């Protein structure tokens, strides 16, 4: 099937579900090859700049691939530094998305520290909406989601249907473990966020991320003390 801008959502959904079954046992590179062959320039990678593993894998399949980064205005400086380093040294096209409002503008309208009072609204304004707008030109996007990161991610398909955005969502390393990631980083010298060496297992916005404790799962440091586990990008 050749995917074009006119391919219906129903056909894309069927395609995604079939590919998810067909590629369940495929390697990350084979999954990305399918995505690039199927979507061409209408495929991108999204990266939180926790590490550049998926961007690196995708650039091996499609040099110059678009890598979309969401700059919420609340990132650690190490995360922005990782984004800049990826842009400088890797064969990818980094695209930075920003929310409609700066943090100062948001504070003026909603009051300061919205992330403490209503993190769902803060994520909706600073993550979900900008990504939705930024992905308009694409039919498929790749993420670095892994099944072993948390119970909420345990059923992540390698290729699935993103109902919210009506797009194909590709998770080429869904079956990887942390050891697989570490081995790939070492073998290929992939850039990683320095905070991973400083007690952080998952890196998000500074106000909503803390170091993890011994025995906690990788995402326990995100919105710690709250029921919230996801920002709305993947649910």
Give the shortest CB-144-to-ligand SF4 separation in angstroms: 17
- Give CA–CA dist 108/112, Å, rounded: 7
Nearest Cα neighbor of 146 from 108, 175, 124 is 175
User: Do residues 169 and 145 lie in contact, with contact meaning Cβ atoms separated by under 8 Å?
Assistant: no
231 assigned to active site = yes
Nearest residue to ligand SF4 on Cβ basis: 205
Count CB atoms within 10 A of the CB of residue 133.
Answer: 12
Q: Which stretch binds ligand SF4 (CB under 6 A): 36-44, 49-57, 114-122, 182-190?
A: 114-122
Token look-up 């609204």 returns: 121
Q: Which two tokens stand for residue 1?
A: 């099937």
- Give CA–CA dist 43/139, Å, rounded: 6
Interface with ligand SF4 includes 72 (CB under 6 A)? yes
Token look-up 């991973």 returns: 196
Pick 119 or 157: Cβ nearer ligand SF4: 119
Residue 44 assigned ligand-binding role? no
Catalytic one of 31, 231, 233, 235: 231
Residue 205 assigned ligand-binding role? yes
Give the shortest CB-207-to-ligand SF4 separation in angstroms: 5
Q: Which stretch binds ligand SF4 (CB under 6 A): 76-84, 143-151, 169-177, 199-207?
A: 199-207
| Binding site per annotation, positions for [4Fe-4S] cluster | 122-123, 205, 208
């Amino acid at each position: 099937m050749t995917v074009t801008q006119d391919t219906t959502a129903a056909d894309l959904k069927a395609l995604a579900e079939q590919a998810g079954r067909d590629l369940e046992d495929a390697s990350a590179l084979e999954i990305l090859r399918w995505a690039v062959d199927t979507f061409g320039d209408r495929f991108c990678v999204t990266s939180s700049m926790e590490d550049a593993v998926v961007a690196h894998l995708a650039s091996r399949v499609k040099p110059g691939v678009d890598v979309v980064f969401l700059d919420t205005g609340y990132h650690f400086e190490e995360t922005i530094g990782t984004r800049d380093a990826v842009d400088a040294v890797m064969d990818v096209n980094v695209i930075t998305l920003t929310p409609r409002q700066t943090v100062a503008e948001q504070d003026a309208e909603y009051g300061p520290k919205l992330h403490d009072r209503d993190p769902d609204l803060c994520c909706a304004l600073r993550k979900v909406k900008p990504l939705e707008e930024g992905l308009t030109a694409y039919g498929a996007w790749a993420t670095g989601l892994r099944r072993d990161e948390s119970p909420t991610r345990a059923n992540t398909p390698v290729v699935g249907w993103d109902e919210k955005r009506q797009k194909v969502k590709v998770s080429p390393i869904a079956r990887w473990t942390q050891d697989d990631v570490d081995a790939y980083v070492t073998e290929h010298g992939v850039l990683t966020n320095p905070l991973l060496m400083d007690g952080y297992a998952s890196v998000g916005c500074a106000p909503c991320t803390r170091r993890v404790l011994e025995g906690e799962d990788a995402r326990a440091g995100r919105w710690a003390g709250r029921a919230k586990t996801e920002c709305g990008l993947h649910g």
